[in-house]
Amino acid sequence: MEPLGKKQNVVDVADLTRWNFTQLLADEEEKPEDTGSKSPFPWRSDLNSKLVLWKGDILTLQVHALVHPTNEMISTKYEMTARLLQEAGPEMLSEINNSVRGSKTGEARLTKGHQLLARHVIHTVGPRFNVKYSTAAEGALFSCYRSVLQLANENNIRTLAMCPIHSSQRGYPLEQGAHIAIRTVRRFLEKFGSNFETIIFACKENDVMETYQHLMPLYFPRNWKEEMEAKEYLPEDIGNENGEPVIAERKIRIIDKPTFAAFKSLGEEFDETIDLNKEFRSPDGPAVGCHEFAVMKEDIDKERLCTLQAKPSAEQLEKERARLYEKFLLRAKQEDLTDIAQLQCIYQSGVDRFGRPVVVFIGRNLPANCIDMERMLLYIVQMMDPIADNHYTVVYLHSLTTADNLPATSFVKYAYNLLHDKYKKNLSSFYIVHPNIWFKISTWFFTTFTASEIKSRVQHLQGTEYLYAYINTDQFDVPQWVFEYDLKVNGPRYYAPPEDTVDEL
């Protein structure tokens, strides 16, 4: 019998497989001939031996510190935050209120682990993602990972467990965030690797684990062959010496010493420093107006500022959205989403009076705080992509929905921006049944400032009876409890518009 109070399912770091043992090493004689093109992330067995890629619950790891990604207010709507506060005890909440709550995006704060297996917890606030401001989100996410690693290094934390800081609840694309996470760890270990024994990438969901397994060899190749192959698949932006995303517009080249080429258009360069005043006074010096300084067209700083302030064109944004959607659709077709389908929160239910497919969304059946919302979006795309090719109708049932069933506003915006334009163009009507006053206000704000294209097609209905003017009863398949709730709030009889008043939208 286990002693009272002893934690179950404890995972010892020593029992985990290091990254360098996940694939056989290539022999020295297998090293390919030097082609002159060196990999920016060469094979280093010493770094690989400090790394672990592991699937499981990060709270079961017995480590010096674990990373806790959350939002500015440490909200318990995040599953990990709720569990961490429950298992760590009231002392953790007290310490968070005193030194962590209110942290800014990109910051990291250290607290004790209290009743957790880990001695310490590093709390960090991950960024929200918006395709229009993706550069800012990438910089903030890098700052999160870098701050976490620096804090661990400063506090002699030798074993560190990290789960993805980029969260689907905040709309951050999984693969883009994984590139930044792995690359930042690689660059940090190159400089401070001797200060760490183990860094664990802890992945709880299957899709997260698969993404990390796919990307890890790019930054931590396990042999010469992987190192050579990785060069072909690395993204265009591999970051600077710290792994920070590089913005081309911010690069400023400063020449240490000016050369005669600045004054004599001869194409020859010299190492010696030039006395500008002497050169201009010399009879053999350049004629005024002939040197490069006199032919500048405009203030270069002003020109660069205009470039930085310029917003991407509508065509560029549309191309980027189309690219992201096609990539997302491919994932949706390849992934097994039967667990999401079993929730029965979204499905097709017959057709309306004009023969258009009706998609039913039941808010109460969506456990937004307990599932990976990106997988939910994958299922929506998988199911609705063929439906959205033609006109269709959506019925959203807000009956008995609570705050636990509502996804974060940032995720809803991310989903709306990701979906192909055909979803908005072919949406004929969007009926919201049983909305409360707060949901009506939220809908108004969203359709006014984010989804203005569909605002005129959104209708609020206080009962299911009003739907029968647009959808035949035999075509509307919803759970019995919806009708029971309808009777409870509206009574057995209330007005429904006659069928002959319905106009096609």
Each residue of 119-171: pLDDT tens digit? 999 999 988 888 778 888 899 999 999 999 999 999 999 999 999 998 777 77
Residues of the chain within CATH 3.40.525.10 domain(s) are: 332-501
Q: How far apart are CA 454 and CA 394, in angstroms?
A: 12
Q: What is the DSSP letter of 78?
A: S
Fold of 332-501: Phosphatidylinositol Transfer Protein Sec14p (3.40.525)
Using the predicted structure, report yes or no on whether residue 418 has a pLDDT greater than 90.
Answer: no
Taking CA atoms, 150 is separated from 182, 198, 205, 431, in Å, by 15, 15, 27, 50
The Cα diameter of the chain in Å comes to 104
What pLDDT score does 304 carry?
55
Q: Average pLDDT in the 445-467 region?
A: 91
DSSP for 111-164, please give it: EE-TTSSSSEEEEEEPPP--GGGHHHHHHHHHHHHHHHHHHHHHTT--EEEE--
pLDDT of residue 147: 94
Structure tokens at 143: 């700052």
**Mean pLDDT of the 207-223 span:** 92
DSSP 261-290: GGTSTT-----S---HHHHHHSTTSPPTTT
Average pLDDT for the chain: 82
- Residue 53 β-bridge partners: 201
- Domain 11-233: CATH superfamily, name plus number: Leucine Aminopeptidase, subunit E, domain 1 (3.40.220.10)
Is residue 246 within 8 A of residue 239, CB to CB? The reply is: yes
Q: Any idea which residue has 């993706």 for tokens? A: 134
**Helix, strand, coil: what percent of the chain each, to 5?**
45, 15, 40
CA distance 118 to 331: 35
- Long-range contact pairs involving 457-461 (C-beta distance under 8 Å, separation at least 24): 457/427, 457/428, 457/429, 457/430, 457/505, 458/430, 458/432, 459/429, 459/430, 459/431, 459/432, 460/432, 460/435, 461/431, 461/432, 461/433, 461/434
Nearest to 345 by CA among 388, 385, 390, 377: 377
Phi/psi at 322 (5° precision): -65, -40
78 or 203: whose pLDDT is higher?
203
Percentage of the chain beyond pLDDT 70 is 80
pLDDT of 298 strictly over 60: no
Q: What is the pTM of this model?
A: 0.52
- Tokens 């693969």 — which residue? 175
Query: What is the full DSSP assignment across 208-266?
Result: HHHHHHHHHHHHS-SSHHHHHHHHHHS-S---STT-PPP-GGG-----SS--GGGTSTT
Give kind and range of the element (H or E) at residue 59.
none
Does 445 score more than 60 pLDDT?
yes
Please state, for a pLDDT cut of 90, what percent of the chain lies above it. 44
Helices marked H in 426-494 — which ranges? 437-449, 480-490
C-alpha span between 88 and 464 (Å, rounded): 45
- CATH 3.40.220.10 range(s) for the chain read 11-233
Banded model confidence at residue 38, pLDDT cuts 50, 70, 90: confident
Residue 362's nearest CA partner among 393, 395, 338 is 395
Signed CA dihedral, 222, 223, 229, 230: sign only: positive
Q: How many CA atoms lie within 13 A of 291 on its CB side?
A: 14
Lowest-confidence region among 8-12, 165-169, 267-271: 267-271
Q: How far is it, in rounded angstroms, from Cα 175 to Cα 169?
A: 15
pLDDT at 325 over 60: yes
Q: Which stretch of 3-12, 154-163, 185-194, 325-334 has the lowest confidence by average pLDDT?
A: 3-12
**What H or E segment, with its residue span, contains residue 172?**
none
Which pLDDT score, from 0 to 100, does residue 70 have?
A: 87
Residues 244 and 149 sit within 8 Å (Cβ to Cβ): no
Q: How far apart are CA 432 and CA 441, in angstroms?
A: 13
Report helix angle 224-233 to 206-219, nearest 10.
Answer: 110
User: Is residue 36 helix, strand or coil?
Assistant: coil
351 - beta bridge partners? 357
In the prediction, which pLDDT does 34 show?
A: 55
Strand boundaries in 379-426, DSSP class E:
392-397
Lowest mean pLDDT, pick from 39-43, 128-132, 386-390, 501-505: 501-505
Which SS3 state, helix, strand or coil, does residue 101 take?
coil
Which tokens sit at 369?
């705080």
Going 333 to 172 to 364 to 393, the CA torsion angle's sign is: negative
**Strand, coil or helix: 433:** strand
**What is the distance between the alpha carbons of residues 438 and 345, in angstroms, rounded to a whole number?**
21
Q: Report the alpha-carbon distance of residue 280 to residue 284 in Å, rounded.
A: 9
Strand 11-12 versus strand 61-62 pairing type: parallel
Question: Residues 6 or more apart from 429 whose CB is under 8 A from it?
Answer: 352, 393, 394, 457, 459, 470, 505
Q: Would you tell me how many other CB atoms lie within 10 Å of the CB of residue 112? A: 14
Please indicate whether residue 106 or residue 311 has the higher confidence score (pLDDT): 106
Shortest CA distance to 389 belongs to which of 427, 417, 355? 427
The region of weakest confidence among 53-57, 291-295, 339-343, 467-471 is 291-295
